[in-house]
Amino acid sequence: MSDKTDGPGNDAGLLTKTKTRTQRPPMYKVMLLNDDYTPMEFVVHVLERFFGLNHAQAFEIMLTVHKKGLAVVGVFSHEVAETKVAQVMDFARRHQHPLQCTMEKE
């Protein structure tokens, strides 16, 4: 006989299995892109100021971007990622550097 039990083992074997799974919000990678003009010290400063990195961490990520073309700087909620990107882009524009910062769903 059919029953109302979820999951495998019911008569039809076709009832929807109820999964209890905590929903995690999607996270976003924030990335810096390399260019030929932004001074290295400026990029290091941006990484310290907006991403809370110490000088050694900031220098390492700056060098990765310089050598590989881009690097992930951090992973954040959509709102925080958008804020970081806007802060970096605004700061770079105000200093007339072409530094680009983007975000991408993880």
99 makes contact with ligand TYC (CB under 6 A): yes
Counting Cβ atoms within 10 Å, is residue 102 exposed (0-12), middle (13-18) or buried (19+)? middle
- Min dist CB 55 to ligand TYC, Å, is 15
Instruction: Please tell me the distance from the alpha carbon of residue 23 to that of residue 79, in angstroms, as a whole number.
Output: 17
75 makes contact with ligand TYC (CB under 6 A): no
102 makes contact with ligand TYC (CB under 6 A): no
φ, ψ dihedrals at 61, nearest 5°: -65, -40
Among 3, 40, 52, 77, binds ligand TYC (CB under 6 A): 40
29 makes contact with ligand TYC (CB under 6 A): no
Secondary structure (DSSP) of 29-41: EEEEE--SSS-HH
Residues within the interface to ligand TYC (CB under 6 A): 32-36, 38-40, 43, 62, 65-66, 99
